[in-house]
Amino acid sequence: MDQTLLQLRTIGDLKRAGHRVKPVRLEMRDNLLERLRNRQSALPGIVGYDETVLPEIENGVLAGHHMILLGERGQAKSRIIRSLAVLLDEHVAAIKGCEISDDPYAPICGRCRALVAEHGDETAIEWIARDNRYAEKLATPDVSVADLIGEIDPIKVAEGRYLADAETIHYGLIPRTNRGIFAINELPDLTEKVQVGLFNLMEEKDVQIKGYKIRLPVDVVFVASANPEDYTSRGRIITPLKDRFDIQIRTHYPRTIAHEIAIMEQECTYPLRAEMPLRVPLFMKEILAQVTFEARASNEINQASGVSVRVTINNYESVISNAEKRAIVIGDHEIVPRLSDLHSLYASTAGKIEIEYVGEDKKDDDLIERLINRAVLKVFDRYVKLEDLKLVIAYFEDGWGVEVSDTAAPAEYLDALREVPGLREAIDRLGVFETPGLMATASEFIYEGLHLHQKLNKERQGGRYAYHS
């Protein structure tokens, strides 16, 4: 935006500068087209939707549509909606002091029309920043028409105004988002009364407050989210409101492990120490992502409620925390998560999945253990061939064994590298592991993979695990 525009202070200044005020839909459309011309992402930071959801959102913006996103929890619906604000102009001109950011050229509230009638081109303006033109509301049954649209203000009535006068309204969230984007999360949770008021405002631009019909021709793009189960005629959405949303877009969970990992890394907020580098082998990241994929495919978990990407993010943070704790206790100089840290996933996974109970009690921990085992086995098979581990297997068949622990120092794993034939070569095939911590992680990966292929037994001895023939 031309910064000289921000120096303009009256409607006359705007006219002399030739400044044009655009409707929100046109504003978003123009900014999206500019991004597309420059080969920029329409919505930065959204991963895994380039070929599915984002093209539909782009079409919706170009067509000036009200949109609703349908999807289970943890599918980035709220993030997408908030990202739409980047398509607004950085600043827009509004009549100074107006509660609803009135258009200087076409005011809709009585106060602003009176100001323009009295002062004309000398009417003062102000510039509204992009962030102040986006608002959202989580729909709950206690949300009222007054919250979203407005209510008669008894103080203004006491001052002598008529009840039917639009100036007696105390504006709600939607009018205060005039010339911007208004988002409603979990739309069907609104009561029917509020839904009726909302579709009237979207379509006819009028509402009834305390029996008085009032025109509110606000310029707002509505975006909403909902769970697909609720957004049906059998759910809690009224048909007229459903009809007012021009397009509905179905979101989904990441469809590849790479996308799951990219989101996990992007959203991880673990506060790391600058003096202790974090090193996480790719196979460890893949195991964490695969655990979530296994949960989404499990018939023991209620898939209607979904398995959020937050499961992967929180699990990633959990294994990092367990690895950092070990590094502090043993005096290590790097943070390297390994398979013996995966027990920390039990606490961070249990609260985010809903187990299907059919006839018998099922324990969360048992299910999570099965998910982890299936994930480790699938990732192991992507990296390692059993025929390449013949020397390692032969060593254990001769009666030898090794112990691992989430509290053991990485140096304790180095003896096995020297003693177990073929182990070092197997680790080299996994990648470049130049530190003791990375070698310890790779060693555990090999042992656990062989155990899950029933080539090794695994026994728990207190906080340690013993692998042997």
Could you tell me what percentage of the chain is helix, strand and coil, using 3-state DSSP and rounding each to the nearest 5?
A: 50, 15, 35
User: Hey, what are 72's tokens?
Assistant: 């289970």
- Give the confidence band of 25 by pLDDT, cuts at 50, 70, 90: very high
How many whole angstroms separate alpha carbon 345 and alpha carbon 317?
Answer: 9
Domain boundary among 250, 271, 290: 250
246 alpha carbon, distance to own chain's centre? 23
Read off the pLDDT of residues 125-153 as tens digits, 9 standing for 90 and up. 999 999 999 999 999 999 998 899 888 76
Helix (H, G, I), strand (E, B) or coil at 363: coil
CB 34 within 8 A of CB 217: no
* Helix, strand or coil, per DSSP, at residue 226: strand
Does one domain contain both 196 and 332?
no
- Distance from C-alpha of 331 to C-alpha of 387, rounded to nearest angstrom: 38
Cα 205 to Cα 184: distance, rounded to the nearest angstrom: 18
Domains identified in the chain, total number: 2
Q: Do 337 and 457 belong together in one domain?
A: yes
Q: For the chain, what is the mean pLDDT? A: 89
Q: What is the pLDDT of residues 330-353, one digit of tens each?
A: 999 999 999 999 999 999 999 888
Pairing, β 220-226 against β 67-70: parallel
Which residue range forms the structural domain that includes residue 295? 257-468
Q: Based on the fold, state whether residues 204 and 263 are members of the same structural domain.
A: no
Q: What's the predicted TM-score (pTM) here?
A: 0.87
In sequence order, which residues have a C-beta less than 8 Å from that of residue 244 and are 6 or more positions away? Answer: 66, 198, 199, 202, 203, 222
364 and 242 housed in the same domain: no
Same domain, 154 and 265: no
Task: Clarify whether residues 322 and 240 are in a common domain.
Answer: no
Q: Which of 250, 267, 294 is the last residue of a domain?
A: 250
At 85, is the pLDDT very low, low, confident or very high (cuts 50, 70, 90)?
very high
Looking at the fold, whether 328 and 243 belong to one and the same domain comes out as no
